[in-house]
Every structure is written in C-alpha cells, then in structure tokens.
A = this chain, B = another copy of it.
Amino acid sequence: MILHLFRSGQAETDRVEAFSDGVLAIVITLLVLEITPPSVADGNAELWRSLARLLPVIGAWVVSFLFVLVFWVSHHYLFASLAKVDRGVLWLNGLFLLFISFTPFPMALQARFPGTVPAAFLLSLAMLLTASSFGLLRWYASIHAGLLRPGIDQHSAWQAMRRSMLAPSLYLIGTLAAFVAPWVSLVIQVIVPLLFIVPHRIDNELGREP
C-alpha cells in the first residue's frame, strides 16, 4: 500500500526529477571545460597576461552557471508541486532539457567572440528557448493538465505562471537587441539570474513548502 503510493505518483515524479537533475548537473559542470589553459611559452608575466585575457570566458562561465542553477531551482519547486507526471510532462520536460543542454555551445561562442553580434544573439536565443520551454512546461503541468498536488490553489499557480513569463520576455528583448547593441543582451544575461536569486521576489513561489 505504501509501496503503491510511492509507485503510482511520487515515484514517477521522482524519476523524472532524477533524470532532469542528472542532465542539469552535467550541463552546469561541463561548462567549465570551455575554459582551457593558455598555451604560452614561458615566464610568469606572460602567463598572468594570458590568464587576464581569460576573464571574459570566466565571466561567461559564471553567467551560464547561474542561468542553469536558477532553472534547476525553479524546476525543483515546480516538480515539488506536482502530484504526478504524464507523457506530456515527459516530452515538454525533454524539450526543456534539449534547450538547456545546448547552453555550453553559445557560452563557448560568447567566450571566444565576446561582444560580437552572433555570439550575443545565439546565447540570448538559447536562453529564450530554455525559458520559454520551461514556461510551457509549467503551464502544461500546473494549469492545462491539472497535475498539481491537492492543496495548491489555482490562484498561486497562475501567479507563478505570470512570474514565469518575465524571463522569456527579457530574453526576447535580449535576442532582438543583439543586432543593435550586443551589450544590452549581455546586461540582460547577467541581470535575469540575479532577479531570481534576490529572495523577496519569488518568496512565495508555487511549490514552496507551506
């Protein structure tokens, strides 16, 4: 009986969470592989200079790391609020994982060609697709398919939904701005994760333990 409870709802949710956690943990950790040691002949002075040239790469790595981390936290709270998952959740979650696992490539591009239009565009686009697919997943699971755990009211689901529209909107601006002023994309890439880390903004997010 207890076993059955676990199996027919909780266990389902748990395994999707575990797989997603695996993918997110790998994405977030692989990012550092894009930072490679410089190939300099010799001498500390030369080595310091080449390390200084790595600062944009390290910046791009921190931004991408925070980006994935914020989505892991949101994903964590979303799934904690679900009573069960269905096939729609599985595939929309897969779409979200597809987009977020693309992150290392535009990050590497941003690191190698910092400030260029194509790099700013592609990283913003990847973030836009990730954030949009997560919004779609949230909408499907918590509103359309009604998979929320009993005790979570529709009102807070809609509230979380509205908040989930913020990131895609900003990333859409960042994606378009890349063509006019790449630094605007950059600022948005830096700011969005910070918006979600500042506690009071999302303090009463859907799925928070009551």
Interface membership of A116, Cβ < 8 A: yes
Q: Which of B32, B72, B119 contacts A105 (CB 8 A)?
A: B32
List of B residues within 8 angstroms of A17 by Cβ: 15
Highest count of chain B CB atoms <10 Å: which of A12, A15, A36: A15
- Would you call A28 an interface residue if the criterion is a C-beta within 8 Å of the partner chain's C-beta atoms? yes
Give the distance to chain B from A24, nearest Cβ to Cβ, in Å.
7
Chain B residue contacts of A6, Cβ below 8 A: 3, 10
Which residues of chain B have C-beta atoms less than 8 A from A98's C-beta? 62, 65-66, 69
Contacting residues of chain A (1-53) with chain B, CB-CB under 8 angstroms? 2-3, 5-12, 15-19, 21-33, 35-37, 44, 47-48, 51
Per-residue B-contact encoding for A163-187, CB less than 8 Å = 1, 0 else: 0000000000000000000000000
- A positions within 8 Å CB-CB of B: 2-3, 5-12, 15-19, 21-33, 35-37, 44, 47-48, 51, 61-62, 65-66, 69, 72-73, 76, 80, 84, 87-88, 90-91, 94, 97-98, 101-102, 104-105, 108-109, 112-113, 116-119, 122, 197, 199, 203, 209-210
Query: 21 pairs across A/B with beta carbons < 8 Å?
Result: A3-B5, A9-B209, A15-B21, A19-B25, A22-B26, A23-B25, A23-B28, A23-B29, A28-B97, A31-B101, A32-B101, A33-B33, A33-B104, A35-B105, A36-B105, A37-B108, A44-B116, A61-B102, A73-B87, A73-B90, A73-B91
